[in-house]
Amino acid sequence: MGRLTIKDVARAAGVHPATASRALNPLLPGRISAGTTERVARAAAELGYVADPVGRSLRTQRSGTVGVLVPDLLNPFYPPVLRGVQEVLRGHGFEALIASTDNDPGRAGALLDVFRGRRCEGYVIASASRRDDAVGRLIAEGVPVVLVNRLTEAAAPSVTSDDARGIGQAVRHLAELGHTRIGHLAGPSGISVTRAREAAWRAGLRAAGLTPERSWVVRAGQYTASAGERACGTLLDRGEVTAILAGNDMIAVGCYAAFAARGLSCPEDVSLVGINNMPLAEWLRPSLTTVAIDQEELGARAARLLLARLADPAARVGDVALPTELVVRRSTGPVRP
Amino acid sequence: MGRLTIKDVARAAGVHPATASRALNPLLPGRISAGTTERVARAAAELGYVADPVGRSLRTQRSGTVGVLVPDLLNPFYPPVLRGVQEVLRGHGFEALIASTDNDPGRAGALLDVFRGRRCEGYVIASASRRDDAVGRLIAEGVPVVLVNRLTEAAAPSVTSDDARGIGQAVRHLAELGHTRIGHLAGPSGISVTRAREAAWRAGLRAAGLTPERSWVVRAGQYTASAGERACGTLLDRGEVTAILAGNDMIAVGCYAAFAARGLSCPEDVSLVGINNMPLAEWLRPSLTTVAIDQEELGARAARLLLARLADPAARVGDVALPTELVVRRSTGPVRP
DNA sequence: ATGAAAGCGCTAACAC
DNA sequence: GTGTTAGCGCTTTCAT
């Protein structure tokens, strides 16, 4: 059929292509008469013209594309985040290129190179370790970057969850159930949320009049179920705690397996709290009490921050911390007498 | 820093830009001398040149972009599929634009329009209903499309799982455990896998010398846990079956909840088999016996089929059916005496 | 085998 | 307010 170009629209409206272009991009300088604008718009609509993004990109040096990097697409936490990002971006004419580092920090560089080759105008990065070379370089170059749930040493706006609040609620909830020895399965070190969550756990215990013991913390090497199962096993075998705050829901998923392997039942023998409220959390047996984060909103806010920086690269856009809220389900119960 | 163009490479190598371009694209007609090719390649490597995809696209009328449509990003089945698709595409210089219809067939059209605006060269579609207008139109226009786990009335190559094999194994497994009344929670009608799975269930029962009863099938409105829970409840309340083949793992997840709500324990009171072996299947309690499908391979094969059609639009590429295999875990056990 | 020149679709800069 | 011109980066004729 031969694709429509702006020349076709211009011809149909009886104007020059440049005029047609201006008429269709109202924000540009050099205003166009109402009549012309009208005629061009009608012609475009009738013909079903949509501007070729490639031609436009070449001229404007923009791609209408944003790179999104997540650490693990298989972790149910991220799909809702992606949905939020895409929804907002699409509403503003941007499309997201998505990649997962699969929990391998080394892959970030290569993936970012692919994105840069495609002229992504900005990046939403949910995979940055606290010290990440590839991401740091990006930020240093002044490319618009928004971090999700991660902080780096480099300065880039970020959207995080205010874990402290929800974790405080979680610990209080456990304390009110009579638990005095509440363990924590921390995520991998080198990630900012890991530290924040551990700190919040510590603070929560203190606020409840309890003293966090070093032996109540075990570090899971990754935010995965299998790492969680191992770490939980280690913690259980020390035989000290009656309740566990997992570093996230995937780690909590691993805990269920560790419980079962030791013949412990939840919540009768051990109480368990996760973090994230991932899509399947309510479907686990027992359903998981967890610190809920609005994942879609997390992504949506990140996208909006990025759009603000895209519109004005000099804009100082601040960080956002979304509130978290404890969702009590069936994995927590009174301490055993 | 000012981005590198092919002119920079040409200058560094002491040749004309056109020559440099040819040297870097070895497959083109008009071969270039080995020496020149070498010099240009070295210059490009030293400068770190990567061709601008936008300029290239404008000239070649290609975008290096493929649209991928899935019905539900939140369903753990699809992320591995996407990973397989992306991996293969990236290896061939293509990037995937991903969108989810969120189980709303009506959204497919709008999303495909976004993709078309971006000049996607081909599509991997995992969301087609058996009768899907938007997708049908695409195929009719001769745009390269590969379907994943779906068949439409229109003719497009597809990659599916050979559910019959694994489902046959599943039914035999249950029969060998002594089950004679094996129910099925079918997915939404209007989707090809739904029919295929129901047919395979029926055939499996017959092969085991059993007669499938109409009352043993309940249809879940969607492939989701909550739809599964409702459907499972209906089936259980009829009080006929001792084992259940769920339409997929998400429906099976809902079954766990339905069991718990009725005080039934699995596998002592009811045996349960899922389909897909999604990432969390082994972490459910009890771990889910399920018909495994290599999801990543599903995506990878789809991508390869698409690449074949992209390379030669006239190529008749056939359908692919990947084998499935029963994975026996702890959700199935002997029938109660 | 290589250089010259043209042009993909669009819009910014410059006329008028 | 609108037409003219030029050029984004690349590849592909067409010469030589």
pLDDT score of B1: 47
pLDDT of residue B272: 98
pLDDT of residue A321: 94
Helix (H) or strand (E) holding A292: strand A289-292
Stretch among A28-42, A311-325, B243-257 having the lowest mean pLDDT: A28-42
| CB-contacted nucleotides of strand D (7 Å) | 1-15
Domains and CATH numbers, chain B: 6-60 (1.10.260), 65-161+295-323 (3.40.50.2300), 163-293 (3.40.50.2300)
pLDDT at B328: 98
**What would the pLDDT profile of A199-223 be if each residue is shown by its tens digit?**
999 999 999 999 999 999 999 999 9
> Residue A107: helix, strand or coil by DSSP?
helix
For position B30, what pLDDT does the model report?
60
Note the pLDDT tens digit of each residue in A118-160: 889 999 999 877 777 888 888 888 889 999 988 777 678 999 9
Q: Is the CB of B30 under 7 A from strand D?
A: yes
Instruction: Report how far residue A122's alpha carbon sits from residue A111's, in angstroms, rounded to the nearest whole number.
Output: 14
- Interatomic distance A11 CA / C16 C1' (Å): 22
Contact A324, A291 (CB under 8 A): yes
CB atoms within 10 A of CB A152: 19
- Among all protein residues, pick the one whose CA is nearest to the C1' atom of D7: A59
Residues of A in contact with B280 (CB under 8 A): 76, 225, 253, 280
Q: What is the spatial distance between Cα A47 and Cα A41, in angstroms, rounded to a whole number?
A: 10
Query: How far does Cα B156 stand from its chain's mean position?
Result: 15
CB A79 within 8 A of CB A53: no
> What is the sign of the dihedral through the CA atoms of B268, B269, B271 and B272?
negative
Q: Quick check: A287 CB within 7 A of strand D?
A: no
The length of chain A in residues reads 337
pLDDT in tens, A165-201: 999 999 999 999 999 999 999 999 988 899 999 999 9
Q: Which residue of B has its CA nearest to A97?
A: B97
- Residue B166 and residue B292: Cα distance in Å, rounded? 7
Q: Is the peptide bond before B267 cis (omega within 30 degrees of 0)?
A: yes
Helices (H) and strands (E) in chain B, counts: 12, 12
Rg (C-alpha) for chain A, rounded Å, is 25
Which residues make beta-bridge pairs with A326?
A: A291
Which one-letter amino acid corresponds to residue B272?
L
Residues from chain A that touch B58, judged by Cβ atoms under 8 A, are 54-55, 58
Q: What pLDDT does residue A1 have?
A: 47
The 10 Å Cβ neighbour count of residue A133 is 12
- φ/ψ of A65, rounded to 5, equals -130, 140
Tell me what percent of the residues of chain A surpass a pLDDT of 90: 65
Residues A38-46 have a mean pLDDT of 90
| Distances from the Cα of A94 to the Cα of B69, B118, B158, angstroms | 17, 10, 30
Tell me what percent of the residues of chain A surpass a pLDDT of 70: 98
Pick from A245, A265, A259, A103: nearest CA to A164: A245
Per-residue pLDDT tens listing for chain B (337 residues): 467 899 999 999 999 988 999 888 877 666 788 888 988 989 999 988 888 888 888 888 888 899 999 999 988 899 999 999 999 999 888 999 999 998 888 889 889 988 888 889 999 999 877 677 888 888 888 889 999 988 776 678 999 999 999 999 999 999 999 999 999 999 999 888 999 999 999 999 999 999 999 999 999 999 999 999 999 999 999 999 999 999 999 999 999 999 999 999 999 999 999 999 999 999 999 999 999 999 999 999 999 999 999 888 778 888 999 999 999 999 999 998 7
Q: What is the pLDDT of residues A240-295, one digit of tens each?
A: 999 999 999 999 999 999 999 999 999 999 999 999 999 999 999 999 999 999 99
- What is the least distance, in Å, from the CA of A141 to any CA of chain B? 9
Give chain B's length: 337
Measured between beta carbons, the chain A residues lying within 8 angstroms of B283 are 225, 253-254, 256-257
Show Cβ contacts of residue B65 under 8 Å, excluding neighbours closer than 6 positions: B94, B95, B96, B97, B118, B119, B120, B121
What is the arithmetic mean of pLDDT over A324-333?
98
Q: Is the CB of A34 under 7 A from strand D?
A: no
Query: CA nearest A96: which of A65, A125, A71, A119?
Result: A65
Per the rule left: phi > 0, alpha: psi between -120 and 50, beta: everything else, A25 is beta
- A3: closest CA of chain B, how far (Å): 11
Q: Are A164 and A200 in contact (CB under 8 A)?
A: yes
Strand A158-162 and strand A320-323: pairing? parallel
- As a whole number, mean pLDDT of residues A103-117 equals 86
Give the start-end residues of each E strand in chain B: 65-70, 95-100, 122-125, 145-148, 158-162, 182-186, 217-219, 243-246, 271-276, 289-292, 320-323, 325-327
Q: What per-residue confidence (pLDDT) applies to B307? A: 93
A50 has pLDDT over 90: no
